Structure 1
Amino acid sequence: MPADIGVRVGGHPMRALAERALFWPARSRLILSDLHLGKADAFRRFGIAMPTGGTALDLERLSALAARTGARELWILGDFLHGAVEAASWRSRWHAWRDAHATLDIRVLTGNHDAALATARLGVGLLGPAVDEDGLAFRHAPETVAAHHVVCGHVHPVSRLPSLPGRWPIFWLGPERTVLPAFSLFTGGCEIEIADGERFVACVESEAVASFAGDAPTTAT
């Protein structure tokens, strides 16, 4: 079973999953950001050769997460899409996936790539750009919301680990906000310098690795 690590997000117990999503047990809710459906299609429209299969792989990962957690809800914090949806090759794959998960309540915040979402007819509920709930402020991009802990994406945060080569997607955990890693495997990343009072959980293939200020990273089992 892929590893996960318990975290408190604005005082709420949640699980940071190695597959780049949060699980909120009290709501039976999966929370992720930056799915970027159709990103490869958008690149190909501009004549950039890109491999196929990225959407299929991301949806397979999402199916596995839904099954493992038993989630009743899925919230996507923006950049559900990457661009236009007309004649996109991923649409039929998405609709088949949606039909296979018909009982999953899917809701989506508006991100900067989601201009086409309102008329896309993809079987998801639209939350608009902002939702405040139980002291949490769900947004796409980081911002400050008085008396709320912000939960967002957009940045695609990554970091390095002392004993491993490369950069790894992270949950960037601070006192005022939690920034989720990009869920899609077909994304770049912004390397984050962890400040005093912050920590992170890195997604290292099938393991979650927690780093706390002044501590060596530890791997959840």
Structure 2
Amino acid sequence: MLDFLKPRWRSLAELIGFVTILFGTKALVDPLTWQFSGPISMIFTLIVLGIYLRLQNEQWSELGLRPLFGWKAKLLLLPQAIVGMAGIIGFSAMLLLLAQHMGWTDFMEASGVGAERWGDLKGNLGLYLLWLLVVWTSAAFGEEIFFRGFFISRAQRLFDGVPHKWILSALFAAVTFGYAHYYYQGLRGFVVTGIVAFWLGLLYFAYKRNLWPLILAHGFVDSLMFTAHFMDWDI
């Protein structure tokens, strides 16, 4: 499939195709269940991507889901994840503090749609556990595979020959990731998630394309957020 295209144009076609599948599926599912249309579209896109990779004789490990061989790789997993978590929390906090200092009130106001999407989590154990399931499947696992593993690897081929293509690839993926969160988090969500995605993209290269620390960091931070809503913590 697409073997007749040069690597750069083939990568562009793959990016356009799978981003279209992701956002197109979400648009189709929205009228049925807008709260879960994002996770559903992410899982569906990964299924299609898995079939495509199989037809291309490409393995998930080539995108970053590789076995952790040796004790060193296993011991580094948690510290690497903690670095990822620190960046996610730190950059988000610094950005919001900067917006507050500069008086960007419109930016400071998160979209109310986000709260509506998650429902009344306070004290609702069933809903809390449901969203944790979504966090670790669609968000942590799915988004890291798609936006870091697949998207960045294809973007690198697209920018082949361009100076600092690895930075451009991470930035391209980050902008797309931020846009994917705009519909329910607004401008604040677009900027914050975009910066977080850029940080994770840089770590993807720093960790030699190992996705496992990023999956853990993403999952732990999102789990903390939903736990805060469930416990009604003021953070």
TM range (shorter): under 0.3
Higher normalized helix content (fraction of residues): 2
Compute the TM-score of the two structures, normalised by the length of structure 2: 0.26
Higher relative contact order (CA 8 A, sep 6+): 2
Q: If each structure's strand is expressed as a fraction of its own residues, which one has the higher value?
A: 1
TM-score (norm 1): 0.27
